[in-house]
Structure 1
Amino acid sequence: MTSYTETSERQQLREQVFKLGSTFGGEYMRACTAEGRKTTELWDAVAQAGYLGVAVDEQWGGGGGDIGDLAAVMEELSAAGCPLLLMVVSPAICGTVIQQFGTAEQKDRWMPGFADGSLTMVFAITEPDAGSNSHNLATNVRHDEETGEWVLNGGKYYISGVDEASHVLVVARHRQPDGTLGLPSAFIVPTDAPGFTKQVIPMDIAMPEKQFTLFLDDVRVPADALVGDATAGLAQLFAGLNPERIMGAASALGMARYALDKATEYARTRQVWSTPIGAHQGIAHPLAHCAIQVELARLMMQKAAALYVAGEKGAGEVANMAKYAAAEASIAAVDQAVQTHGGNGLASEYGLGSLVVASRLARIAPVSREMILNYVAQHTLKLPRSY
């Protein structure tokens, strides 16, 4: 029977990661955002401690753990106020896909970099005209029979952290001789490849990482840039998307905990009349409700990680539910934290205002609330498909 209870080793991992994250904290992230700096010092510190590679096999220098361990790292950094978005796309998605489906040579080349943090690889699947419909991707690839190279053309949208990455794992559909597009595959593309260009997307969200539109114009990559079987289609790609949902849930849960910590500390010490405001049920009960939501979502995330590691069939369903629950818990916790602070909730000094937009993002990415509800309606409740 699959156990959803965390081991003492993972609990110790959580403690150590939170301790490290607290030496940076929310002030560090806000400073990086305001000054346009990258979170290089934090990334390097987390990497040096071995936390970025906890889910990489030991033969490549990793910790030999699993996605549950990596999610714990993500949650604790977020709870300390300094989440690392690129952990989701680099070790969780790209690392998982290459570790599961890459050739022996690809694993030997790329996995040590995921393990020690020296490699940052981002993931590019989203397109302007495809949205959540991965079957409608237009980015295409053809095989040059003379050179043996793959040639990619197309564009990607809302791709995180491309300016911090050396490579992008690009999803493209194979162009058939008749011009139609066949199954998709993943290709490792250097960010400095000729024909590869990027354009930043201006965002109202305050965070160090940036989002980009990508353009691929006859981008050539060698034969060994293909990861996995060219005929496998979306099955291989989805191997990285369930970890993405688990990591997204972990990030949202950490943010919720961070906001609740701020709110409860304020409620314990802030006095308007003769008692701390936290003694009043109008303040205490909403915060208690948020705490319950966080714990319920956390249990679902732990279940999703355990099922994924065990290879059980329901892992995708639970990962979607975990991401949904964590996003809702995060939005509620941040909102209530702001409300608890009153006007101070939007003062820069308290560091909560920027979380209002950041928490809202969890309801949209990496998969929208509506698509998760579609999935649950169809697969859990066996209702007719609506799209």
Structure 2
Amino acid sequence: MDFRETDEQRALRAAVAALAAKYGHGYWVEKSKRGERTDELWREAGQLGYLGVAVPEQYGGGGGGITELAIVCEELAAGGCPLLLIVVSPAIAATVIAKSGTEDQRKTWLPGFADGSTKMSFAITEPDAGSNAHHISTTARPDGDGWRLSGRKYYISGVDETDATLVVARLEDARTGKLRPAMFIVPTHAPGYERHEIPMEITAPERQYTVFFDDVRLPAEALVGGEDAGLTALFAGLNPERITVAAYATGMGRYALGKAGDYARTRSVWGDPIGAHQAIAHPLAKAHVELELARLAVQRAAWAYDRDDPSAAEAANIAKYAAGEAVINAVDTAVQTHGGNGMATEYGVGTLWAAARVARIAPISREMILNFVAQHSLGLPKSY
């Protein structure tokens, strides 16, 4: 097991870092506070091939894996421009379609993912189901040569700027009569598709929505991979989601610590830089250690996923947990290092606090990860 990056991966990391520096944290904050999209950054990242690094080459992508996409997520965030839609669109939706979609679905959607011209949101969470995917109530029923979709989802990211939503629903098994998971590609302009924004206390360009499906008519080809692909298709996207969220979080932590380190080296109060005092230096050092451990966990999880290693699910959950804990401590330590300036927009660390805090909650809470580890890694009885 060798986690040393290849020359190509190091070049990708440097190139994405340069792109993030071109735009900078100020651009991201301004777009977020104005309620605008980061279209310029997304478009350039797509044109340069960064958004499509994990899309197979035959569909116009880079032919890499989640390892390369995690690098893109991390470096954009480390440059002060964390883009949540990379997790949602290239990591989840494109991976699901590449691994579980029909050939027609791959030809239709993957080239757009490869160059960034297509964005797709992802909808699994429901108000009455939370983390319990077995209680999803959004259902699809056969309707002639297609489907009718009904239900609702909430906390769905970026619906206003995506072309379609990949929806996790349930359909009736004709053989058993039981409901089973299925995934549908639903155009965001489809009749019966409605969205309502959820006001959030988070600085981020991506907005959150409650989405309603009122008897939405879908063609047969909207069902991803056919009626037997439900669980396979779903699991194809969940581990990349955890891995790229973890990369996104470690990138934010690196950005915050970078700002804190600069401040601690140059801010002088009692004649010496404040970084000369252990009360400042040790928390920063501890945060750095935790971030580096989380980055190793992300690299291991991506390595396992890209090789179809059976440890991928455990590794992805561990990476998500480690990164969520590390980023909130890194951002909080950066704010504390700045004192009152830590909450001033111009210093660029307080603007990340809420987004960093979310990394402990979404896309899966740390409590559910601990449940997974207790049951599957330690062999303890199921607790829920």
* 1:148-206 per-position Cα deviation (integer Å, ceiling 9, x unaligned): 01110000011000000010111110146799751111111100101110000010111
Q: Which residue of 2 aligns with 1:136?
A: 135
Q: Which residue of 1 aligns with 2:6?
A: 7
Contact 1:140 1:181 in 2 (8 A): no
Q: Give matches, 1:333-372, under 5 Å.
A: 333-372=330-369
Shift of 1:35: 1.6
Q: Which residue of 2 aligns with 1:41?
A: 40
Q: Which residue of 2 aligns with 1:266?
A: 263
TM normalised by structure 1 equals 0.97
2:197 maps to which of 178, 195, 200: 200
List runs of 5+ in structure 1 lacking aligned partners: none
1:190 maps to which of 183, 187, 191: 187
Q: Give matches, 1:1-387, under 5 Å.
A: 2-144=1-143, 147-175=144-172, 182-387=179-384
Tell me, what secondary structure is at the counterpart of 1:219?
Answer: strand
Question: Whole-Å Cα distance in 2 between the matches of residues 287 and 35 of structure 1?
Answer: 32
Contact 2:224 2:233 in 1 (8 A): no
Runs of 4+ in 1 over 6 A off after TM superposition: 177-180
Q: Which residue type is aligned with residue 64 of structure 1?
A: G
Q: Which residue type is aligned with residue 283 of structure 1?
A: I
Contact 1:142 1:150 in 2 (8 A): yes
Q: Which residue type is aligned with residue 148 of structure 1?
A: D
Tell me, what secondary structure is at the counterpart of 1:302?
Answer: helix
Shift of 1:11: 1.2
Contact 1:183 1:232 in 2 (8 A): no
Question: Whole-Å Cα distance in 2 between the matches of residues 334 and 96 of structure 1?
Answer: 30
Contact 1:173 1:181 in 2 (8 A): no
Contact 1:183 1:231 in 2 (8 A): no
Alignment length (residue pairs):
384
TM normalised by structure 2 equals 0.98
Question: Whole-Å Cα distance in 1 between the matches of residues 25 and 229 of structure 2?
Answer: 42
List runs of 5+ in structure 2 lacking aligned partners: none
Contact 2:100 2:232 in 1 (8 A): no
Tell me, what secondary structure is at the counterpart of 2:216?
Answer: strand
Question: Whole-Å Cα distance in 2 between the matches of residues 326 and 6 of structure 1?
Answer: 20
**Comparing 174-183 with 375-384, which one deviates more in the overlay?**
174-183
Q: Which residue type is aligned with residue 152 of structure 1?
A: L
* 1:73-127 per-position Cα deviation (integer Å, ceiling 9, x unaligned): 0000000000111111111000000001111111111100000001001111110
Question: Whole-Å Cα distance in 2 between the matches of residues 294 and 352 of structure 1?
Answer: 16
